[in-house]
Amino acid sequence: MDRSRLALRGKSLDRFLSPEDGTSDNKEVALEFRDVSYRVGGNLILDKLSFRMEAGRTLVLLGRSGSGKTTALKMVNGLLFPTSGQVLVEDRPTTDWDLIQLRRGIGYVIQEVGLFPHFTISENVGLVARLQGWPPDRVKARVAELLHQVGLEPAQFLHRHPRQLSGGQRQRVGVARALAAEPKLLLFDEPFGALDPVTRVELQDQFLELRDRLRITSIFVTHDVREALRLGTEIALLCRGRLEVLTTPAEFVKSSGPEACAFMSTL
Amino acid sequence: MIPPYLLQEMAQLTGEHFVLVLSAMAIAVGAGIPLGVLLTRRASLRTPLLGFANVMQTIPSLALFGFLIPIPFIGGIGKRTAIIALVLYALLPILRNTLAGILGVDAAVRESAIAMGMTGRQLLWEVELPLAAPTILAGVRIATVTTIGTATIAAAIGAGGLGVFIFRGIASVDSTQILAGAIPAALLALLSDGGFSWIERRFSIS
């Protein structure tokens, strides 16, 4: 990479959030979107989206349906690629990554959970670790540890199949599965959207607990401003593919843009 | 009840019939499932390949056996031609069910598998094929049962099998001979159907 480009990156830094402590310069940048646009046919889904994330933070992508938040998320683990611009994971564009390795290092949790119905809970959670060639004993220990972490008693759940679980339990397994191979990044696509309000709050609490304990860089997509304020260390508001606001939850409630106000009015 | 002079021939022709069906099904499954998987990956091939299999299915079986006789290498009189015709018949349900089974895998499950870093091969063997297995098996089951029936016509081009009894019975207006061919064929079909149903129950996710 040439010098002028580095300088440009340095300059663009102060546009973005460097939280509280202001020592962002020596913090590791886990993820960066650089002028990312995505076009399908005549539709611009993402319009020059730029931001960077420090390691250990939780960025919530907030927006209406069709605002491009899921599209942005899928660009991080190479399920989609920008039609222009770059997404950099650990300073490397996703187009330069070996996609299999990139994805195995990123946990992914979606609303539909997507557990493998023919695998037991144990096999579901241990999958990435197994694909990565961990010895069976280590996989087994890790699976038990993770189930415990997400609040499921291993002995009771290890050998069940996904359809024997409730929606909330399934999503807990989904989170455990995403954490299995010690990912450097976690992606959540409206993971709690299909759950009843009580279970949703339980899982949000769990998420907060894991967030503060593990400090894994996370991106969390939601259209629920309450959830965004609760879970994010930063909130990025997307509107028709554009980044409207990127700020802390504390600042977000004070923002004056029309889209931010529209979201705040739902509280 | 069964005339003793028929018994020995019945055993022999049932064996021939079984070998005809088994060879045809082995080839049809061996070709049909990989081709079906290929169709899931190459949408542009779906129309021509399924169209071909469809057309094969619409040709009356007696005519198809007849058509194949003059074709060099694969044609002629005897078992080889009959097996080829049976394979052509069995192909459609296997192809179609493989395609439908794999395309029917829950999109969220497939997306998770890809997002978790499965290679194309792992996706196929660990997720798509196991989840599509009941549908694929149903296709093989239909194909097998119809092939057992269709194989009786193979006798018309000298391939042997239980059709020999049936054609002979028709020619000599001897319903004993017709039944000597039809009943074992029906039993064979029922048995294989039962066998498949056992496999389905045995391997279903329970």
* Whether A164 contacts chain B with CB within 8 A: no
B110, B116, B121: which to substitute to probe chain A, counting the most A Cβ within 10 Å? B116
Contact B116 A128 (CB under 8 A): yes
Residues of A in contact with B132 (CB under 8 A): none
Contact A108 B131 (CB under 8 A): no
Contact by Cβ (8 Å): A121, A147:
yes
Contact by Cβ (8 Å): A109, A203:
no
Q: Report the predicted TM-score, pTM, of the whole model to 2 decimal places.
A: 0.84
Contact B114 A79 (CB under 8 A): yes
* CA Rg value for chain A: 19
- Residue A139: Cβ within 10 Å count: 22
- Average pLDDT for A68-79: 95
* Whether A103 contacts chain B with CB within 8 A: yes
Please give the DSSP secondary-structure letter assigned to residue A223.
Answer: S
pLDDT in tens, chain B (206 residues): 677 888 889 999 999 999 999 999 999 999 999 999 999 999 999 999 999 988 888 888 888 888 888 888 887 888 889 999 999 999 999 999 999 999 999 999 999 999 999 999 999 999 999 999 999 999 999 999 999 999 999 998 888 899 999 999 999 999 999 999 999 999 999 999 999 999 988 877 64
Contact by Cβ (8 Å): A81, A256:
no
3-state secondary structure of A60: strand
The predicted-structure confidence for A171-194, as pLDDT tens digits, reads as follows 999 999 999 888 999 999 999 988
* Secondary structure element (H or E) that encloses residue A54, with its range: strand A43-54
Q: A84-112 burial string, b = 16+ CB within 10 Å, else e?
A: ebbbbbeeeebeebebbebbbbbbbbbbb
Distance from CA of B46 to the nearest CA of A (A): 24
Contact A103 B112 (CB under 8 A): no
A102, A120, A131: which to substitute to probe chain B, counting the most B Cβ within 10 Å? A131
Nearest to A116 among B115, B119, B127 (CB): B127
Residues facing A43 on adjacent strands? A40
ipTM higher than the 0.90 cut: no
Contact B109 A131 (CB under 8 A): no
> What do you get for the CA distance between the two ends of chain B, in Å?
45
Strands of A73-157, DSSP E: 84-89, 92-93, 106-110
3-state secondary structure of A114: coil
Contact B112 A79 (CB under 8 A): no
The closest alpha carbon to A105, from A126, A134, A132, belongs to A132
Distance from CA of A125 to the nearest CA of B (A): 11
Rounded CA gap, B190 and B159, in Å?
A: 23
Contact by Cβ (8 Å): B167, B159:
no
